Amino acid sequence: MKTGKEYIDSLRKRNIKVYVKGQLLKSEEVVDHPFIRGHVNSAALTYDLAHDPVYEDLMTVKSHLTGKKINRFTHIHQSVDDLVKKVKMLRMISQKTGTCYQRCVGFDALNALYTVTYEMDKKLGTEYHQRFKKYLEYVQENDIMVAGAMTDPKGDRSLRPSQQADPDLYVHVVEKNDKGIVIRGAKAHMTGMVNSHEMLIMPTTAMTEEDKDYAVSCAVPVDAPGVLHIFGRQTNDDRKCEGEIDQGNARYGIVGGECLTVLENVFVPWEKVFMCGETEFSGLLVERFACYHRQNYGGCKGGVSDVVIGAAAVMADMSGYGKAAHIKEKINEMIHLTETLYACSIACSAEGKPTASGAYYVDPLLANVGKHNVTRLIYEIDRLAQDIGGGITATMPSESDLRNPEIGKYVEKYLKGVSTIPTEYRMRIARLIENMTGGTALVESMHGAGSPQAQKVFYSKLSNLEHKKRCALDIAGVPADEVKAALEAAAKGKK
């Protein structure tokens, strides 16, 4: 298992192409660029914690393939206990970073592909699962950070991949030969891509036979020939080039360092291809990945919310109103909402079941309900934090003003709260609240792992509404079959 330093050193060996604000960075500059360094640090912590005896039970596990001790982020879930420990691990790391640490997407992609390639081989007689197991051993042995790459730009959402005016708006195969395939297109919103080693390409939707070239899954180094990354902007990201206070979370940054990854005729050898044209399994892969990923959010966002709650409570104490009844009530509500998020993630894990491959899969209904809660409750948690934090979180002068020899004394004097607390400490907490409850963090909570509508589609499909109707009819003493037949007849009459 790598240490954090070994992980960072390994990133420096890549020949990666990353553009930031229109400028191509030198490969050796990527790790230390102010926009990127925080994301590198948060991911590095997932490596260091695996060597800490205090967190060994959460962070490490024995590989079911080799029997070796590995970082849990490279593991395939073998039990309900594995699923539960994953959520507990994510909450613990989030409490330490206050932000995204980016390894979850690849973790979920590994598990989804493990289960789906097994079922694909069983039905179609392909050899994808054996290929994938060899790749997984490589990932585990080298403690590889994998970026999950599912989301395509999509173009005109009313059209299928093969119907787009520009065929590259979904990643697709443009050539096959005896050595491998060539793919082209782009992946959008790619969390942690520029500080990963490899990416796992997956289809972003269920495919029809006409979309065969788009039903592709494969592993690609992030610095492979033909790959380039355009780093995304974040709220107040230029502050990362300034003082530490104004960044709020200077060490770990905010969210996951997303980018647009462009694939210009990228060659992939067959041993790293795990789906190529098997359209009937594309939808299953999307569903498995989505549910594994939605499992995470009560864990990671629960941990992030723990930090937000703590920051709001500290701000109240530093400002002198921490003991006010209405403040205590708001903090208790934030705690209630946070534990609600966490409960759903634990529940979908505890209700997990083995797949045909033997690997365990979450309860998909509870996973989608839990993620949908995140798209709503985070906003209320952050609203309450901003309420408690006060207007200073939005209008505070800069660190440069505090350090200025002429006006710094005024910032020091007038931004003071409780007289025994240094003004700088209060400013740091105010910036942390601003950072953690601002635009980028909320957008990621809303759209990460799929927009709210995506979860609605899943839990509408999985909730067994007909069973709920029958329960009500039985209790009311109404014959369910008679009602069903009458409604069907009425529907036919309308047609």
| Catalytic hit among 300, 338, 342, 348 | 300
**293 annotated active-site:** yes
Catalytic residue among 172, 229, 293, 372: 293
Q: Which residue has the tokens 């921490």?
A: 322
Residues paired with 309 in a beta bridge:
none
Cβ neighbours of residue 102 under 8 Å, at least 6 residues apart?
39, 42, 43, 145, 147, 191, 192, 195, 196, 256, 257
Instruction: Please indicate whether residue 210 is annotated as part of the active site.
Output: no
Give the residue carrying structure tokens 């539960």. 84
The reply to whether 444 belongs to the active site is yes
- Within 213-281, residue ranges assigned H as helices are none
Beta strands in 145-239, from DSSP E residues, in sequence order: 146-149, 172-176, 180-187, 198-201, 216-221, 227-231
From the candidates 198, 399, 434, 444, which is the catalytic residue?
444
Given a contact cutoff of 8 angstroms between Cβ atoms, the answer to whether 270 and 176 are in contact is no
User: Within a 10 A sphere around the Cβ of 357, how many other Cβ atoms?
Assistant: 18
Catalytic residue among 77, 104, 172, 189: 104
Tokens representing 175 are 């050539």
Q: What is the 3-state secondary structure (H, E, C) of 425-448?
A: HHHHHHHHHHHHCCHHHHHHHHHC
Please list the residues that pair with 262 across neighbouring strands: 186, 228
Is 471 designated active site?
Answer: no
How does strand 146-149 pair with strand 198-201?
parallel
Q: Which of 46, 77, 100, 375 is catalytic?
A: 100
Bridge partners of 201, per DSSP, are 149, 218
Q: Within 13 A of 354's CA, how many CA atoms are on the CB side?
A: 6
Instruction: Mention every residue, 6+ apart, whose C-beta is less than 8 A from residue 450.
Output: 290, 293, 294, 371
Residue 268 carries which DSSP code? Answer: E
Environment class of 149 (CB within 10 Å of its CB; exposed 0-12, middle 13-18, buried 19+): buried
| Catalytic residue from among 198, 258, 278, 399 | 258
Contact yes or no for 408/422 (Cβ under 8 A): no
Nearest-CA neighbor of 392 among 366, 420, 426? 426
Q: Is 27 helix (H, G, I), strand (E, B) or coil?
A: helix
Marked catalytic residue, from 99, 115, 191, 440: 191
Q: Is 191 annotated as a binding residue?
A: yes
Bridge partners (DSSP) of residue 71 are 60
Whether 278 is catalytic is no
CA gap 4, 31 in Å, rounded: 13
Please identify which residue in the block is written with the tokens 């050796």.
Answer: 28
Q: Alpha helix locations (H) across 390-478?
A: 392-395, 399-403, 408-414, 423-436, 439-447, 452-462, 465-476
CA 472, CA 381: separation in Å to the nearest integer?
Answer: 35
Residue with tokens 């079959």: 481
Catalytic residue of the set 297, 342, 360, 361: 297
Give the helix/strand (H/E) hosting 273. strand 273-276
For residue 100, indicate whether it is catalytic. Answer: yes
Residue list, annotated binding site for FAD: 191
Catalytic site residues? Answer: 100, 104, 191, 258, 293, 297, 300, 444
Binding site as annotated, residues: 191
